[in-house]
Structure 1
Amino acid sequence: MEHISIRIDSNINIQTLLDRFKLVLLKIAQLDMVEVNFSPCRFISVTTLTALITLLKHIQTIKPIIYLKIIEPPLESTRTYIARMDFYRILGIDHREMFIRHSEIGRFMPVRNFQLTSGSHYEIVDNTIEIIKRNCELKPELLYGLDMAFNEMLDNINEHSQSQNGGYFAVQSQHDTIEICIADSGIGIAESLRKNKQYNTLTDQECLEKAWEKGVSDGNGQGNGLYIAARLIKLNGGLLSAFSKGAGYHITPVNSSSFVLKNVYWPGTIITLSIMRQNNIDMFDLLETNDVAELPVNYTDSLDEIDGADVLW
């Protein structure tokens, strides 16, 4: 039985994970088994777990009969976390859970798959906004802006990514941040943008850099989802990272930068937002306007739909 083992270390980053998956993707036709070895792993981030699930589902789509062998991590807390985030459920792996599941509403969101036909992305966005509302000191009106951004980002995956598996979304509240990860194994941001004749000569790196600007899209949709997400992170002092095909993009409190991935690629797009829980921002700053007429026409009305929007905690 020909197989490849993927080692998952504590705090492994996306580029290292992709490097370890490179041989799997190259030799997938010859492989009978992929082993995922968590034995060195004492901690795993929600982004790494979402990325891992997306890559493994991509492999299962290419070769449905492949066997996945999981070597569990040594710590019970890490084993429980991986199971509670629905790693085994999504991958269809039998696993006995040695813990009681409590409601995650307002606390975290296990990795969720969303498909165009299911309408599940509306529930995902609602639950994400609830987590942010309970755990961040953001002004109530910002929740509507974030609702718009997340809905557009998930719609883009559903309608334009051409991912056979839909997309994956997870949220984890931590000590001083909320980490949100969105991933798919579709055609990627660059190929999608190049469908618009304005951008059809741009490289992967140039497309990924352009994608965060206001109104940039493949010709369908408003093109504001990534723009609002990027503005939020810049103003909030958080972090953003994105990988799509052969390019990467980072936003930090200091600057933003794009780069070419060396000898690896992400089969689709993965985006991580780390929102600072204590840092508030203004809706006018978020949308780069001083004119109330330029704000979404019904954003104030939406506050009535958010239970307790006047008191966030």
Structure 2
Amino acid sequence: MPKINYPSTCAAHAIFEFCAEIDRHAGVDQLIIDFSSMGRIEPFTMVYVAKIIREFNRSNPLTKVMRCGFENKQYAANMAFFRAFGLKHGREPNCTDGNDRFVPFTIIRVRTIVDEASHEWKAEQDIIENRSEKLARILAQQGTSDLVDALTFSIREIMRNVFEHSRSKSIEYCAQYWPTYHKVEIAISDNGIGLTESLKHNPYIQVTCDADAIQQALMPAVSSKNYQGAIIDRNDPWHNSGFGLYMINRLCRLGGSFIICSGDHGIKLDDSGKEHINLNHRCNGTVVRMVLNTSRIESLSKMLMQFREDGYEIAKKIKGVGMYEASTASQMLSRDFQ
């Protein structure tokens, strides 16, 4: 019976290879996944691996998948990692009391956001803003601060992308803050159409592969909904400008890092540059990993202003995407325009 050993490291390349190995066993009668060697595990690892195992189970209903070596992995169990892919061990997803600097594996149904917005007579994006700020305060264990602002902005913009572009029925996320290391990590995933399919709705963008789609999505003023001829309500503070991913990756690159995966490709950005990653397996939808260096977080409005100006200069060189002023919501927190 084939057996796959979970890696002893949470390094991205090791995790991607583990997921590729799972994918290579499609169609087998039985498969063992051994978690005995699991060491440190982080939010992105949990969100990504749980997603891949779930998708493998769904695509291979006749394969009997057995798991072992997980019994003493208390941190992963407490973060609802095992339950997230169907193993009845540890906490259930969506369980958190907010007393620690972590957010366990959580699933929000998009329908829940829509219903909540309708009930409160608010825009769906306002509901996403409120949820993002609540998560930020749990992680930072603070009411208001530059860190809370930065976390709220980052979480909100990724969740907005899922809600506005992906057609996913749910948003999945997990997060952890390590004050001693000046590090906070947030992972957000969807099960939608992916970046390549999404950007095809912009007639001015030529996308030939997942690598192209990811790279273009990271550029300022590139969006499936923001292009010359598109109907845009310029008075709507939530109108889509295509600046969200650009602003977030700039924020993460201040001593942290940013990874985005969709389809068969991933791109990692940090202060040392850009790395293209061939996943060697398929990642349906999109998964984002944001790592912020909390010692580098200053006034968010000042940082975003600089990123915005840099983005405008870059956007001027992009032909055919349509030039619109970056939405106020992508430049500052919503309270700044209320």
Cα deviation, residue 243, structure 1: 2.0
Cα deviation, residue 177, structure 1: 0.2
- Name the SS for the 2:222 alignment partner: coil
Cα deviation, residue 230, structure 1: 1.1
Cα deviation, residue 81, structure 1: 0.9
Where does residue 9 of structure 1 map in the other structure?
A: 7
CA distance in structure 1 between the aligned counterparts of 2:96 and 2:334, rounded to whole angstroms: 33
Where does residue 222 of structure 1 map in the other structure?
A: 241
The C-alpha deviation readout for 1:267-313, integer Å capped at 9, x for no partner, is 332211111122223323323258xx98948957827x9xxxxxxxx
- Name the SS for the 2:291 alignment partner: strand
Aligned partner (choices 142, 155, 159) of residue 154 of structure 1: 159
Cα deviation, residue 173, structure 1: 1.0
Kept after mapping to 2: 8 A contact 1:109/1:127:
no
Aligned residues: 289
The C-alpha deviation readout for 1:69-114, integer Å capped at 9, x for no partner, is 221347x4xx1111111123333332367xxx97334511001122
Aligned partner (choices 242, 258, 271) of residue 288 of structure 2: 271
Equivalent residue runs for 1:206-217 within 5 Å: 206-217=212-223
CA distance in structure 1 between the aligned counterparts of 2:46 and 2:84, rounded to whole angstroms: 12
CA distance in structure 2 between the aligned counterparts of 1:43 and 1:102, rounded to whole angstroms: 21
Where does residue 251 of structure 2 map in the other structure?
A: 232
Where does residue 302 of structure 1 map in the other structure?
A: 335
Judged with a 3 Å threshold, the aligned counterparts in structure 2 of structure 1 residues 20 and 280 are, in CA distance, closer, same or farther, namely closer
Aligned partner (choices 171, 175, 185) of residue 167 of structure 1: 171
Where does residue 126 of structure 1 map in the other structure?
A: 133
Where does residue 25 of structure 1 map in the other structure?
A: 23
Cα deviation, residue 200, structure 1: 2.6
Judged with a 3 Å threshold, the aligned counterparts in structure 2 of structure 1 residues 147 and 135 are, in CA distance, closer, same or farther, namely closer
Task: Indicate the RMSD between aligned Cα atoms, in angstroms.
Answer: 3.6
- Name the SS for the 1:274 alignment partner: strand
- Name the SS for the 1:70 alignment partner: strand
The C-alpha deviation readout for 1:181-203, integer Å capped at 9, x for no partner, is 11234332233223211213454
Which deviates more from structure 2 when the two are superposed, residues 261-270 or residues 274-283?
261-270
Cα deviation, residue 224, structure 1: 2.7
Where does residue 74 of structure 2 map in the other structure?
A: 80
Judged with a 3 Å threshold, the aligned counterparts in structure 2 of structure 1 residues 44 and 150 are, in CA distance, closer, same or farther, namely closer
| 1:278 partner amino acid | S
Judged with a 3 Å threshold, the aligned counterparts in structure 2 of structure 1 residues 64 and 265 are, in CA distance, closer, same or farther, namely closer
Which deviates more from structure 2 when the two are superposed, residues 127-136 or residues 48-57?
127-136
Residue 36 (structure 1) aligned with residue 33 (structure 2): yes
CA distance in structure 2 between the aligned counterparts of 1:102 and 1:51, rounded to whole angstroms: 20
Cα deviation, residue 60, structure 1: 3.3
* Length-normalised TM-score, structure 1: 0.76
Where does residue 199 of structure 1 map in the other structure?
A: 205
Judged with a 3 Å threshold, the aligned counterparts in structure 2 of structure 1 residues 90 and 265 are, in CA distance, closer, same or farther, namely closer
> Where does structure 2 lack aligned partners over 5 or more consecutive residues?
117-126, 227-239, 310-324
Judged with a 3 Å threshold, the aligned counterparts in structure 2 of structure 1 residues 109 and 196 are, in CA distance, closer, same or farther, namely same
Judged with a 3 Å threshold, the aligned counterparts in structure 2 of structure 1 residues 95 and 20 are, in CA distance, closer, same or farther, namely closer
In percent, how many aligned pairs have the same letter? 20
Cα deviation, residue 149, structure 1: 4.2
CA distance in structure 1 between the aligned counterparts of 2:164 and 2:2, rounded to whole angstroms: 34
Kept after mapping to 2: 8 A contact 1:146/1:228:
no
Cα deviation, residue 68, structure 1: 3.9
Aligned partner (choices 284, 296, 299) of residue 302 of structure 2: 284
Kept after mapping to 1: 8 A contact 2:264/2:278:
yes
Cα deviation, residue 239, structure 1: 1.2
Judged with a 3 Å threshold, the aligned counterparts in structure 2 of structure 1 residues 83 and 39 are, in CA distance, closer, same or farther, namely same
| 1:108 partner amino acid | F
Which deviates more from structure 2 when the two are superposed, residues 274-283 or residues 121-130?
121-130
> Where does structure 1 lack aligned partners over 5 or more consecutive residues?
306-313
- Name the SS for the 1:118 alignment partner: helix
CA distance in structure 1 between the aligned counterparts of 2:161 and 2:292, rounded to whole angstroms: 22
| 1:116 partner amino acid | V
| 1:51 partner amino acid | Y
Kept after mapping to 2: 8 A contact 1:54/1:168:
no
